[in-house]
Structure 1
Amino acid sequence: MLGIGLQRILGRSAAAPAAPPSMFSMVMPTLASTAINSMQTRSYRPHTPPMLSFKNTGRSVPVRGLSASFAYFQLKEILNESKVRETVRFNEWHERKHDKKRRKRKQADWRKYLEFVKEQVVLAKDLDKRSRIQYANYKHL
C-alpha cells in the first residue's frame, strides 16, 4: 500500500484499478526510479568505475551431485586469491597517500617474513630427514 504523497508523485489515485504491467510500463515511472526512493536506497558507490559491467561476468564453480559445500569453498578460495573483498573494501573510501604507503610497506614486510619462515621450515624438514637417515644408518653401532 503506497502512501498518499507517493501516490501523487507516481500519478496514481487511490481508487484507480491497477493496470497490466505491459500497458503502462514505459509511461508510468517505477517505484525505483522516483527521486525519493533513489535517495533512500543509495548506499554504496565505488570510487572507481566498474570494470565488469555485464550481468553474468565473473568466476563460476560447477556443483556436481550433492557437493554444494565443496563448490562454495572452491569459490571462496578463488575470491580470496583474487582479493575481491579487499578491493571492494578499499574502494569504499579514499585512502591518504601516506596511509596507503604504510599499508603497502607492511604487506611487503609480511610477505618477506612469510618467505623467510617457509625457507626455515624447509631447512628444518631437511635437517630432520638427514638426522633420521643417519640414525637409521648408524643404529647398529
Structure 2
Amino acid sequence: MAKQTRMVVDYTDDMTGLPLESTEVEEDFRFVIDGCPFSIDTHKNTTNEVREALAILVANAEPVISAAMRSLAMKSGTVEKKTRRTNPARSRLLKKIRKWAWDNNMACEKSGRIPEDIVMSFRTSNPGIDMTPYDEK
C-alpha cells in the first residue's frame, strides 16, 4: 500500500483568532515598527479596522524611504522622480549660462553646480540679461 502525503492549510485571523476561509484572507497585512517588518493574516474587515486605527498615525507621520527603496520604486515606475529645482526661471537661466559657456569653449558640466568664474564671465558678457533668478537661489 502506497503512502500519500497531504497538506492542509487552515487560515486563522491573527487579530481575532477566528478561522477564515481562503477567500476571506487579506493578502498579508504588512507593517514596520522601529525598522522591524511584521506580517499578519486577517479577515478583510479586520484589516480595514486596523487601517482605520492607524490612519491618525499615518496622517501625522512623515514617510521615511531609504535610498534602496526609492531606487527600487523608481525602477518599478511606482514613484515619479522628483526634481530639485522649483524655480523654472532659474532653470532656464542656468541652461542659458551653460549654452553660453559651451559656445565659448568653457568647461561646464551638463548638470551640477556651474563654476562661479563662468557665471561672472556670463554676467559681464551679457549685461542685459536679468540675473535675479540666479541670485535668489
Could you say whether these structures have the same fold, taking a TM-score greater than 0.5 normalized by the shorter chain as the test? no
Which structure features the higher share of strand residues?
Answer: 2
| TM class, shorter-length | under 0.3
- Report which of the two structures shows the higher radius of gyration computed on alpha carbons: 1
Compute the TM-score of the two structures, normalised by the length of structure 1.
Answer: 0.27
